[in-house]
Amino acid sequence: MIRKQDLHRLDEYIWELPVTFRKKMQVPVRLFASERLLEHALQDEALMQAVNISRALPGLVGHVAVMPDVHQGYGFPIGGVAATRWPDGAISPGGVGYDIGCGVRLLASRLTYKMVAPYLDELADALNARIPSGVGRGGSVKVSNADLEQVCRRGVRWALEHGYAVPEDLRHIESGGVMAGADFGKVSPRARERGRPQLGTLGAGNHFVEVGLVDAVFDADAAQAMGLQEGQVTLLIHTGSRGFGHQICSDYVRALQKEPYVRALPDRDLAYAPLSTRLGQDYLAAMRCAANFAFTNRQLITHHARAAFEQVLRGVYDQDVWWLRVVYDLHHNTAKVETHTVGGKRVKVCVHRKGATRAFGPGHPDLPPEYRPVGQPVLVPGSMGTASWVLVGAEGSMAQAFGSTCHGAGRMMSRAQAKKRVRGSALLEALEAEGIHVRAGSMRGLAEEAPFAYKDVDLVVESVVGAGLARKVARLVPLAVIKG
């Protein structure tokens, strides 16, 4: 177990475990957190998992970055960022996770709270009815194997061509809604079988659709660039690649764990493939298929959400009032080939982000022109009963964390512990008493996602802002939540 005294404090919000902490560490581990959140990070094995990355993954550059919402995961901690040199470094499925492409989309309407308040209950029902959710649940969009291949190759462009998107949607999706280099031939028949019926579905666990309200704006220029203002009704979508990505991860972990070097790793869940090998390239190609599935999945849920808003509000308000416009959509479980400055030199690297969000600073050419002056939008959801945040990437994220920041509040209590603390029905009653309309697939699943099971998202945001990784733009509060 790592102790507080093992870390060197570099700044108010930056802590470091040097390479001398454990034998065979190649790079330091750097944690971005307030002192209070550091105490949470020391309560499980998350920081030791980050140390093990430094000891195990070939080709690491810079340092392993750890976000304030960190908690223990599979191989990599959730909230971990690590970059390996391209093309002679390594790729690790544990550095992406099982829910490949999991991420968040923010949509904004021109509705105000006063306009939507009388219809919130009906709107929650319509969203719940139209957006399939729950473990293993299939969707209303039926796709063939040929369609699935096109989804994997073309991402949201497939949705556009089939009437599930409008051209403006693609403008505000990370990478235009598609990661290049996907190869459907590297995806197993079992993954295809699991993924095909689940396109356009929410799933369970911490995935959700949330009607929210902008209750505060902190950066007027960035908010204006995104079309956000106080009192505005929004919609957040948090989901990923469902069983499709899970099976892809399982397939490649199983293959990698047969490699003889795995026995020497400090954690066999850190199994990796050299990027230059066939297996490494195959995993990257399959992972990109799942990432494109996830982009498209959130697009189809957007389509369903727009239909729900139309069902409830058509005839009450004009379409341009209730229409849900895409503000931004991005992954927080992926690996991407990017160029970053390390030690004063520009280096091409494969950046693993697991429970961490890309947060490019102002001026980056990969951003849409309207966002380039302010930085990349970053979406940080909280828990059901707390706020969520819109941030923008800052220069510090580029210099200190490979253009990355936090992805959410971060669990500090297991699902089993949460269920022991509260009954789902009691939690439902408490949330409804706060004016939050909740639709849940099961009371057990609702209890697992109780707000007290998560860290304080405001403290997480305070840490990344204090460390210079991001800037505050707007705070969102929940009005209605749909969960599987």
Active-site residue set: 407
Q: Would you say 438 and 431 are in contact if contact means Cβ atoms under 8 Å apart?
A: yes
Answer whether the bond into residue 87 is a cis peptide, omega within 30°. Answer: yes
**Sequence-distant (≥ 6) Cβ neighbours of residue 189 within 8 angstroms:** none
User: CA dihedral in degrees (106, 110, 116, 122; nearest 10)?
Assistant: -60
Q: Would you say 483 and 440 are in contact if contact means Cβ atoms under 8 Å apart?
A: yes
Through-space distance between the first and last CA atoms of the chain, rounded to whole angstroms: 35
Q: Would you say 101 and 295 are in contact if contact means Cβ atoms under 8 Å apart?
A: yes
Instruction: Identify residue 126 by its one-letter amino acid code.
Output: A
Main-chain phi, psi angles of 211, to 5 degrees: -80, 125
For the chain, percent helix, then strand, then coil, each to nearest 5? 40, 25, 35
Q: Rounded to an integer, what distance in angstroms lies between the CA atom of residue 401 and that of residue 437? A: 37
Rounded to 5°, the CA angle 32-34-37 comes to: 95
Token reading at 238 = 């948090």
Closest listed residue to residue 407, CA positions, set 465, 333, 479, 301? 333
Q: Give the β-pairing of 64-71 and 29-32.
A: parallel
Diameter over CA atoms, the chain: 68
Main-chain phi, psi angles of 323, to 5 degrees: -60, 140
Token reading at 205 = 């666990």
Q: Rounded to an integer, what distance in angstroms lies between the CA atom of residue 460 and that of residue 481? A: 22
Query: What is the DSSP code (8-state) at residue 77?
Result: P
Instruction: Identify residue 220 by its one-letter amino acid code.
Output: A
- What DSSP letter does each residue of 308-327 carry, written as one string? HHHHHHBTTB-HHHH--EEE
Q: Rounded to an integer, what distance in angstroms lies between the CA atom of residue 152 and that of residue 173? A: 16
Q: Rounded to an integer, what distance in angstroms lies between the CA atom of residue 185 and that of residue 298? A: 23
Main-chain phi, psi angles of 458, to 5 degrees: -65, -35
